[in-house]
Chains A and B, each alone.
Chain A
Amino acid sequence: MRKVISCVYVEAKKLLRSRIPLMAFLSLTLLPFMAGFFMFILKDPSRAHRLGFLSTKAQLAGTADWPSYLGLLAQAISLGGLMVFGFVMTWIFGREYTQGTIKDLLALPLSRQRIVGAKFIATTILCMLLSLSILTLSLIIGWFLQLPDLSLATVQRGVLLFLFCSSLTILLSTPVAFIASASGGYLAPLGFVLLTLILAQVAAAIGYGGFFPWSIPALIAGLAGKEQAMPTGANLVIVLGTGVLGVIGTALWWRYADHC
């Protein structure tokens, strides 16, 4: 256990001394600001027209209230998180290959699986902290906008949905670590992240989103309406299976592949 903690500490130190947490945070802050902006417009479309935030021809559907706002945020983290968490995962694993530091990690009195595990733990902690900070920022923005329908139950439901979708999205970024390790760099995993993001949209649009892991968090967040927002056991198994496969695949790659 001491070795694991030591390993996680090392990974956390490398991560915190880099610019990645700041870059990831700044990228994710776009989500509450955009959601807040939509709410601001929806709250009073005529004011938005007057201020020039909305074209005279534009019509927006929806309501500006806390449930809609929190739902929108959950959808945003489900899609934006795929990108940002995938980027963090790409950096954590891909950097060791790109910067050549992988060689220092392969012949240590410490199993490679433990190092992989520590990397996943450090990434998960960072992504959860990012999610929590974005959630906090979102609540502050919502409070500033003075959205209607504020109740403890609404906030509780919204917060849980946001955290649940975030967790699923973090879980879905583990295959990125495998792609980064197998390809030995940044390009392939970033391409994979983009591809999953596009396919997630396509799968959801054609009605097969429930079977495509990367569509599931956004569907649960209500992207395709409330009728698909209830997660089924199959949805969760698919997401969990994908996440676990990503972790196992990465650990096996580090353990058995040739590291040239």
Chain B
Amino acid sequence: MEPVIQTKDLTKKFHGFCAVDRLSLSIGRGEIFGFLGLNGAGKTTTIRLLLSMITPTSGHCYLLGQRVDAGKLDIWRDVGYIVETPHAYPELTVRENLEIMGQLRGDIGRGAVDNIISKLKLGDQACKKARHLSMGNAQRLGLAKALIHQPKILILDEPTNGLDPAGIVEVRHLLQDLSKNYRVTILMSSHKLDEISQVSTQIGIIHHGQLIKEMRTKELDKHLHKSLLIDSRNRKAARSVLSQTIFQGHIKTTEAGVLEIEHAKAVEHPEAIASLLCNAGHPPTLLKIKRENLEMYFMRIIQEGEKMPNA
């Protein structure tokens, strides 16, 4: 299947500083690609390159199989986007801002403005001037402008910024609906793995301009570090028992003094550990699988990225 969004060895340097470094990614139709990275990692620069707002130093971007170029106008007919904080003409109302966007995009169809106003729940704000919108509603207006022409590709830079929790859930459902029912391909950036993992089907982590990790979201759980926490009335004896098994060299003691085994077998079969300790006369008082949370995982990947020779 031909990728809908693709970059090949994409590089952008600003006065010697490499903001995006040989980035290659490929996103298929209907996928939601969560583009994750710390501030300044190169997410927005990649998005700007994809939208031809800046020219790559080397490498190429492709949308719907066509090489991206500001002069190739047909590509943009199928692309909706938000780059950084969405902005609107402050002296115009929400409706007028959308009408203007519709007029510039051309042929958006009758009722498109009303539809998008209702879809993004902007009905109460439609006659309000953009300068009077709250941050959350300004974000909704930005999304409405990106969606007004029913694009096949959505490129969204931190689309839930400024939204309240209810708004975040609404946007998440909207994006999932677009992807599932309309096969819209979405690239959304964020610095929150938790948010990305809930909406995306694919995750890419960028650090220092390089794509340091790429995976399917459903595989995320496999990548999270897991360990088994064990406690016993006689910790020393329990440790000695465990040290005589395959877990030797994998046993740590936490700050609280609890034993921690970082070994897949221990995590998969905690009951075997329990039997072992019971048989040895040191039954466990605590047996718990500790899962690395998403934040910790993200930071670990970033730290591993720091150690990479080219990072």
Contact = CB atoms under 8 A, between A and B. Distances in A.
A107 B51 contact: yes
- The number of chain A residues touching the other chain, given as a range, is 20 to 34
Given A111-B73, A258-B53, A105 B87 contact: no
Chain B: interface secondary structure?
Answer: loop
Given A108-B76, A255-B70, A14 B92 contact: yes
A10 B54 contact: no
Nearest to A111: B73
A57 interface: no
Contacts of A109: 73-74, 76-77, 105-106
A260 interface: yes
B104 A10 contact: yes
Given A104-B145, A110-B106, A260-B48, A10 B73 contact: no
B212 interface: no
B101 A104 contact: yes
Interface in A94-123: 99-101, 103-112, 115
Interface stretch (B78-86, B199-207, B246-254): B78-86
A151 interface: no
A100 B53 CA distance: 13
B53 A107 contact: yes
Interface in B67-114: 70-71, 73-74, 76-77, 79, 81, 83-85, 87-92, 96, 100-101, 103-106
Contacts of A260: 48, 53-54
A17 interface: yes
A6 B79 contact: no
A103 B71 CA distance: 16
Contacts of B79: 107
A106 B53 contact: yes
A9 interface: yes
A101 B48 contact: no
B53 A103 contact: yes
Contact of B100 (A13, A106, A107, A256): A13
A10 B105 contact: no
B140 to A, nearest CB: 15
B89 A108 contact: no
Nearest to A9: B103
A109 B48 CA distance: 16
A59 interface: no
B96 A13 contact: yes
A84 B200 CA distance: 51
Nearest to B155: A107
A10 B103 CA distance: 8
A105 B51 CA distance: 11
Given A10-B103, A109-B77, A258 B54 contact: yes
B6 to A, nearest CB: 17
A3 interface: yes
A49 interface: no
Interface of B: 48, 51-55, 70-71, 73-74, 76-77, 79, 81, 83-85, 87-92, 96, 100-101, 103-106, 145
7 contacts: A14-B100, A107-B79, A108-B104, A110-B76, A256-B55, A259-B53, A260-B48
Interface of A: 3, 6-7, 9-10, 13-14, 17-18, 99-101, 103-112, 115, 255-256, 258-260
